Amino acid sequence: MDYRPIPKQVDVVIVGGGVVGSAVAYYLARRGLKPLLLERNRLAGEASGAAAGMLAALAEMEETGPLYELARRSRDLFPELAVQLRELTGIDIALMRRGMLKVAQTPEQVDKLRATVAFQRESGEEVRWLDGQEARECEPALSSDVIGAVDIAGDGQLSAPSLSLAFAQAAVALGAEVYEHCEVLQLITEQRPGVSRPRIVGVETDAGTITSEHVVVTSGVWSSRLLERSGIRLPLYPVKGELFSVISHRPLIHRTIFADSVYVVPKGGGRLIVGATMVPHRFDRAVSYGGISQLMQQAQKILPGIVETEWERAWTGIRPQTPDGLPYIGPFERYEGLYAAAGHFRNGILLSPITGQTIANLIASGTEEEELKPFYPERVQEVIT
């Protein structure tokens, strides 16, 4: 429990201090509201602190559609955001905009990637197809296993833990309050006479009751459990991911290398993050021999020189996934004043600014955008009872 007494009444309660909750707090505070961010453990202690930090708006999207558009909009917010966060907090989110190479190792992967180049170009993105030789001219450490690649100029990367903490600190600098080690146990709702639907009036926490007319559930994969207690069904399931890092004492790669079953992200100080496994329906945080050795083999196939690097550490995170693959971002129909921002699966770091902006627009000015409606939670059958 935080040593300060929790406030009794606030403008907005945000439940969960990962990157999404912290982004929501930041954008609400920018709009002049005083949100309260509650985190049951430590800020960014789950997926948001584990992520590799890629802003893979193109590399991770295989088709056009609402998510592709949302991802590109969000990615393009980062250059200005990095400056704003640094000014408010002094934190450098280590934004690198050197592009990515998405590589193919089989003829089938070549066909698939070439098809993505067509729609990416059509949407105005700077992408080019490279054969294996051209890919090695860009990144000489790539092996002959790589037979083609898409050079994606616009995708970048950053430090995921720094982004989450910078959002939270910047929110505080603008008037938000943040409490760690405070768990929300229950939503409090009320049916007022003459009003068609009940509304949210606050939350019950392990440190007492807080009154608020707006509550945003940003509890990652755990959002379902909290909502279930209020009769709301919001399907989410965990997809565990394992990663490791090594230190390279000579420059190995300049850009992020993204392959079908592994990616290698070059960070400052010669660090390379290698990720990530995908294990659905697992909540445990164990680093497995099988997972790490699989990543090592895949990484070595595309970058043989990685064997000369120095081992640093391995860790895991739990991605929050939704059945239809789209995150939930928006208001609930069942209770007035209740919102969700959860289920960002492999792209929560990338999607954090647009998610924060969207929720802040809804709460601060009631602004709804047609293009964002596919993400509203009402697309699932919300009511349990």
Residues that bind ligand GLY (CB under 6 A): 52, 54, 60, 241, 275-276, 319, 346
Which H helix or E strand runs over 240? strand 237-247
The verdict on 222 binding ligand FAD (CB under 6 A) reads yes
Task: Kindly tell me which of 37 and 276 has the beta carbon lying closer to ligand GLY.
Answer: 276
From ligand GLY, ligand FAD, none, interface partner of 348 (C-beta below 5 to 8 A by class): ligand FAD
162 is a contact residue toward ligand FAD (CB under 6 A): no
Tell me the closest approach of the beta carbon of residue 9 to ligand GLY, in angstroms: 38
93 binds ligand FAD (CB under 6 A): no
Q: Cα separations (Å) of 323 from 205, 225, 327, 343, 377?
A: 29, 16, 10, 9, 12
| Nearest residue to 242 via CA among 63, 88, 50 | 50
| Maximum C-alpha span of the chain | 72
CB 352, min distance to ligand FAD, A: 7
Shortest spacing between CB 142 and ligand GLY, in angstroms: 20
Q: Per rule CB under 6 A, is residue 236 in the interface with ligand FAD?
A: no
Q: For residue 332, which phi and psi values (nearest 5 degrees)?
A: -90, 150
Residue 276 and residue 346 in contact, taking contact as beta carbons nearer than 8 Å: no
Length of the chain: 385
Distance of CA 327 to the CA centre of its chain: 10
**CB under 5 to 8 A by kind: which of ligand FAD, ligand GLY, none does 99 bind?**
none
Alpha-carbon distance of 315 to 44, in angstroms, equals: 14
Question: With respect to ligand FAD, which residue has the nearer C-beta, 30 or 344?
Answer: 344
Residue 248 and residue 10: Cα distance in Å, rounded?
48
Least separation in angstroms between residue 256's CB and ligand GLY is: 10
To ligand FAD, the closest distance from the beta carbon of 173 in angstroms equals 20
Q: Which residues pair with 318 in a beta bridge?
A: 240
Q: In this structure, what token pair is assigned to residue 190?
A: 């009320």
Q: Which does 46 bind (CB under 5 to 8 A by kind): ligand FAD, ligand GLY, none?
A: ligand FAD
What residue 19 binds from ligand GLY, ligand FAD, none (CB within 5 to 8 A, per partner kind)? ligand FAD
Strands 271-275 and 214-217: unpaired
- Interaction of residue 152 with ligand FAD, rule CB under 6 A: no
3-state secondary structure of 302: helix
Residue 15 engages ligand FAD in binding (rule: CB under 6 A): yes
Cα 167 to Cα 348: distance, rounded to the nearest angstrom? 14
**DSSP SS3 for 181:** coil
Pick one of ligand GLY, ligand FAD, none as the site partner of residue 40 (Cβ within 5 to 8 A by kind): ligand FAD
DSSP assigned state of 43: T
Which of 50, 113, 170, 372 binds ligand FAD (CB under 6 A)? It is 50
Q: 3-class SS at 380?
A: coil
Q: How far apart are CA 236 and CA 207, in angstroms?
A: 27
279 lies in the binding site for ligand FAD (CB under 6 A): no
Q: How far is the CB of 103 from ligand GLY (least distance, A)?
A: 16
Least gap, CB of 70 to ligand FAD (angstroms): 12
Q: Which residues, numbered 310-339, are part of the site for ligand FAD (CB under 6 A)?
A: 317, 319-320
> Contact, 307 vs 248, CB < 8 A?
no
Q: Between residue 19 and residue 48, which ones bind ligand FAD under the rule CB under 6 A? A: 19-21, 38-41, 45-48
**Residue 69 C-beta-side C-alpha neighbours within 13 Å:** 9
Give me the residues that bind ligand FAD (CB under 6 A), please.
Answer: 15-21, 38-41, 45-48, 50-54, 183-184, 218-220, 222, 226, 241, 243, 275-276, 317, 319-320, 342, 344-350
